């Protein structure tokens, strides 16, 4: 039986990860976006690069409904898709 006395024990306070853990979508507010993304993955042989537009739409839905922190889409890896979208808009 070990009875070591440790007077300098620091208390550990856990904190949630910065990214990667999101609240659950209990009310299914973004389930249509999720289903379209999952369908795209199945049809593309689970090649996520082919479904980036749908992934971006899903994340936008989650941010709009406060199911994740608002982040610029550029920081989430969609800068090239945003540039394409801007180029498609006709000039006035």
pLDDT tens digits, residue range 18-56?
665 667 888 999 999 999 999 999 999 999 999 999 999
92 pLDDT higher than 90: no
Report the 10 Å Cβ neighbour count for 73. Answer: 15
What share of the chain has pLDDT > 70, as a percent?
71
What pLDDT is stored for residue 4 in this prediction?
Answer: 60
Q: Are the beta carbons of 82 and 73 closer than 8 angstroms?
A: yes
Mean pLDDT, rounded, for 47-72: 92
Per-residue confidence band for 90, with pLDDT thresholds at 50, 70 and 90: low
Whether the pTM exceeds 0.85: the reply is no
Q: What share of the chain is helix, strand, coil (3-state, %, to 5)?
A: 45, 0, 55
Q: Could you tell me which of 16, 13, 43, 9 has the C-alpha nearest to residue 51?
A: 43
- Give the whole-angstrom CA distance, residue 55 versus residue 62: 11
């Amino acid at each position: 039986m070990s009875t070591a006395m440790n007077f300098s024990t620091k208390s550990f306070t856990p904190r949630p990860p910065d990214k990667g853990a999101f609240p659950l979508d209990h009310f299914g507010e973004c389930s249509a976006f999720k289903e379209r993304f999952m369908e795209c993955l199945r049809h593309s042989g689970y090649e996520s690069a082919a479904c980036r537009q749908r992934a971006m739409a899903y994340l936008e839905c989650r941010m709009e409904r406060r199911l994740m922190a608002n982040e610029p889409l550029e920081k989430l890896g969609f800068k090239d898709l945003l540039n394409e979208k801007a180029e498609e808009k006709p000039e006035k």
